[in-house]
Structure 1
Amino acid sequence: MPRLDQLLSSLGYGSRREVADFVKSGRVRRAGEVLKKADTKVEPEDITLDGETLEAPHGLLAMLHKPLGHVCTHSDGEGPTIYELLPPRWMARKPAVTSIGRLDKDTSGLILITDLGPLVHQFTSPKAEVEKIYEVTVDRELDPALVATFASGSVMLRGEDRPCLPAQLEITAPLTARLTLMEGRYHQVRRMFASQGWHVEKLHRSRFGPYTLDDLAPSQWRMLELPV
């Protein structure tokens, strides 16, 4: 079992010194009983701070509706980041949260957020073949022949030496389509259409693995249960 001060600090509630102050102030309870020592060994599920249970004590997984204009980076200088849309405490967790994969600045939609390294690998490993669905708007009328081309597994991207995996393309209107991929190469959707002579004007990811945005508004996030 972890020590109380180590636990709360790792979950982003404050430094060990700050946690010690929480304890002295009577803000921390175990099964309703006020704890008096910050080095007490505890079970995370039994602890409340200010009457609230601890947030995601065994690891955090959330979905974010990424708006246009935000970048998926921790670095400064590239514009507003997705992390500015999340609770500041998440960045104080140890480790801090990160995105599972990325969406570029000009792409909106679903992105997953976690502080669990194994989950990042689980969802991004090429062997995982996680299904991702994108809503695409292009610059000129789509050719129905693209459906077979994308499904053929023969589309080559500039600078790469192996073709893309077969992808499912559904043309939904003259200038819009829904593309389902099982891999996640750099700017893959834009590059796939560019390889066939189309420019992507708008791009939105509506699904990532088993997760869909549903009614989640841009810039909003929702906590998810950890996969079994």
Structure 2
Amino acid sequence: MKVKLLRYLANLGYGTRRDVEWMLREGRVTDADGEVLYGDDKVPHEVIRIDGEPLDPAPGMVVLLNKPTGVTCSTKDQGRLVYDLLPERFARRAPNLSTVGRLDRDTSGLLLLTDDGQLLHRITSPKSGLDKIYEATLAQDLRGDEGAIFASGELMLEGEHKPLLPAELEVTGPRTARLTLHEGRYHQVRRMFAAVGNHVEALHRAHVGGLDLDGLEPGQWKLLQPADIERLFGR
């Protein structure tokens, strides 16, 4: 750890500098052997304990969340936010824990969050080529020609001047389908079905790259490990 303990704990969201100073004065911050630590100390992340418990993950953490509907990917909007589903400290971390892209309020499913800016950029960059798989429930029966239209590479969304990349549609029922995208435009799935005269009533993101929800229930989350990141990029 290159910074002093006082600043480090504040950056991890354990409170303001004053809050952390109080914790230190009370002797609540120790090493793994129970020896009291002080604000000017510089010690490895993994040996620090607060009230006997290990710290939250070090900077560079990645969270996989199964976002429920009715929850917003924002820090300030009204109503329920994705940060309400995580430990309160996570919202106070610096660097910020940011969503990797967004799912709109009415879309559920796989959402990644990270405080690693380089990783966030790598995931969202078109160069990454990460597929995203969505499961859609529609207001009307599928006509049968949607798959060819979506795969053509010629579909133009309203208000845009560049056609969409080809996308793969798998019909799973008269009004349900699985759509694989290779890019991420604003409300893309909803706008694609609108372009062929249909309306998305429910939308769920099931996969991003090599990751799925791995049995997480709506509102549940887990920390990703290096092997998970490798799987995300298909390694």
TM-score (norm 2): 0.90
* Contact 1:7/1:44 (<8 A) preserved: no
1:88-120 CA distance string (max 9 Å, x none): 100111123221111111111111111222222
1:5-16 equivalences under 5 Å are 5-16=6-17
Contact 1:85 1:220 in 2 (8 A): yes
| Pairing of 1:71-110 with structure 2 (within 5 A) | 71-77=72-78, 79-110=79-110
Residues of 2 paired with 1:36 and 1:178: CA distance? 53
Paired AA for residue 199 in structure 2: H
1:130–1:208 contact (8 Å) kept in structure 2: yes
The percent identity for this pair of structures is: 49
1:56 is aligned to 57
Residues 67, 108 of structure 2: 8 Å contact kept: yes
Kept in 1: contact 2:59–2:115 (CA 8 A): no
Rounded to whole Å, the distance in 1 between the matches of 2:175 and 2:34 is: 62
Q: Which residue of 2 aligns with 1:19?
A: 20
Q: In 2, Cα distance between the equivalents of 1:35 and 1:15? A: 20
5 Å-filtered alignment, 1:1-228, equals 1-77=2-78, 79-226=79-226, 227=229
Give, in angstroms, the shift of residue 6 of structure 1: 1.4
Q: Which amino acid aligns with 2:45?
A: P
CA distance in 1, matches of 2:55, 2:61: 11
Q: Deviations over 1:64-98 (max 9, x none)?
A: 11111111122233x32212222110011112322
The size of the alignment, in residue pairs, is: 227
Q: Which shifted more, 123-132 or 12-21?
A: 12-21
Give the TM-score taking structure 1 as reference length: 0.92
Deviating more after overlay: 145-154 vs 31-40:
31-40
Which ranges in structure 1 are unaligned for 5 or more consecutive residues? none
Q: CA deviation at 1:33?
A: 4.5
| Runs of at least 5 residues in structure 2 that lack an aligned partner in the other structure | 231-235
Matching residue's letter, 1:108: S
Displacement of 1:37: 2.3
Is the 8 Å Cα contact of residues 2 and 43 (structure 1) preserved in structure 2?
no
**Native 8 Å contact 1:63 1:113 kept in 2:** yes
Root-mean-square deviation (Å): 1.6
CA distance in 2, matches of 1:50, 1:153: 57
Q: Could you say which residue in structure 1 is the equivalent of 2:233?
A: none
Instruction: Tell which deviates more after alignment, 107-116 or 180-189.
Output: 107-116
Find the aligned partners of 1:58 and 1:200 in 2 and give their Cα distance.
Answer: 38
What does the per-residue CA deviation read over 1:11-43, in whole Å, with 9 as the maximum and x for residues that have no partner? 111223332332332322234141342101112
